[in-house]
Amino acid sequence: MSETQITRIKCVLVGDISVGKTSLRKRLVSETFSDNYLATLGVDFATKKFNIDDQICELQIWDIAGQPNYHSVAERFLRNSDGAILVYDVSNPSSFEHLKGRLSSIQELNVDEEPVFLVVGNKIDLQDPKMGPDEINGYFVREGFDLKEPVQTMYASAKTGENVENVFRAIAKKALKRIS
Ligand code: G3D
Ligand code: MG
């Protein structure tokens, strides 16, 4: 039997404070590894293994708290990530409007190798999303983003757990496809 290869994928959760980034991560994996260094930065780290098309990958999830120094910390992690999950709260329109600024930063920070990204509308237990995935893709196109592929949007609820695992599996799958 051949030795099992594990592909490690670094993924960052980004989005406004209170959209549910930590709740999504905790719903997927409750255990986190947080050393002193990461704790002072307000960063949590968790991993989850996925088997995708007979490939085993370990998704490393970086969850950055919305502290005053958020931007500099987030930049550091965004610079060498393979994937980014852009989270908004479907009951809070401004959290969606702020995603374009975050996507711009991701693109500016990674001019050579852009990470794969996925938009996630969280808190669907509170209300149905106002915008569908095609509408969201159209929005980013109209905003003038130079996109390698259409924007993929998924909806989830960290509260009920609906679609949470699928979201993380989807970003792992996208990153694997980009790497291989
Ligand atoms: P953040 O890490 O993005 O800042 P948190 O967000 O995960 O800390 O969540 C912020 C608040 O939103 C929390 O409420 C949390 O329970 C709630 N929340 C997260 N996800 C969902 C969801 O899917 N549905 C609902 N209804 N609430 C959610 P509190 O009251 O603890 O601040
Ligand atoms: Mg948090």
Distance 89 CA to ligand 1 centre (A): 9
Q: What is the pTM of this model?
A: 0.93
Work out how many domains the chain is built from and give that number. 1
The per-residue pLDDT for 32 is 61
- Ligand closest to 91 (CA) is 1
Given a cut of 50, whether residue 139 has pLDDT beyond it is yes
Q: Is residue 166 assigned to a domain?
A: yes
Q: Beta partners for 47? A: 60
Tokens of 73: 């910390």
Distance 110 CA to ligand 1 centre (A): 29
Radius of gyration of the chain, Cα coordinates, nearest whole angstrom? 16
The per-residue pLDDT for 1 is 45
Quote the mean pLDDT of the chain.
89
Section 9-28 average pLDDT: 94
Give the position, in ligand 1's atom list, of the atom nearest the Cα of 26: 7
The pLDDT tens digits of the residues spanning 48-58 come to 999 999 999 99
Distance 134 CA to ligand 1 centre (A): 26
Q: Do the beta carbons of residue 170 and residue 152 sit within 8 Å?
A: yes
Alpha-helix runs per DSSP H in 90-132: 93-97, 99-109
- Ligand closest to 122 (CA) is 1
Residue 86's nearest CA partner among 174, 167, 31, 10 is 167
Please list all protein residues whose beta carbon sits less than 5 angstroms from ligand 2, which is an ion: 21-22
**What residues have CB less than 8 Å from 58, skipping those under 6 apart?**
6, 7, 8, 9, 47, 48, 49
Q: Identity (one letter) of the amino acid at 89? A: D
Residue 95: which domain range?
6-179
d(C-alpha 143, C-alpha 12), whole Å:
23
Section 99-126 average pLDDT: 90
Q: Is residue 60 assigned to a domain?
A: yes
pLDDT over 90 for what percent of the chain? 67
Q: Is residue 1 assigned to a domain?
A: no
By CB atoms closer than 10 A (0-12, 13-18, 19+), residue 55 is middle
For residue 123, count other CB atoms closer than 10 A to its CB.
24
Handedness of CA 32, 66, 99, 136 (dihedral sign): positive
Q: Do the beta carbons of residue 102 and residue 86 sit within 8 Å?
A: yes
The pLDDT tens digits of the residues spanning 154-166 come to 999 999 999 999 9
pLDDT over 70 for what percent of the chain? 89
Q: Is residue 17 assigned to a domain?
A: yes
Q: Is residue 78 assigned to a domain?
A: yes
Q: Whose CA is nearest to atom 18 of ligand 1?
A: 20
Distance 142 CA to ligand 1 centre (A): 30
Q: Which CATH number characterizes residue 84's domain?
A: 3.40.50.300
Q: Whose CA is nearest to atom 20 of ligand 1?
A: 20
Q: Is residue 174 assigned to a domain?
A: yes
Name the residue of 13, 23, 27 to mutate for ligand 1: max ligand atoms within 8 A of Cβ.
Answer: 23
The per-residue pLDDT for 64 is 83
The per-residue pLDDT for 78 is 81
Please, which pLDDT band fits residue 70 given cuts at 50, 70 and 90? low
Q: Is residue 68 assigned to a domain?
A: yes
Residue 123's nearest CA partner among 74, 156, 171 is 156
Name the residue of 16, 18, 28 to mutate for ligand 1: max ligand atoms within 8 A of Cβ.
Answer: 18
Residue with tokens 């095609």: 134
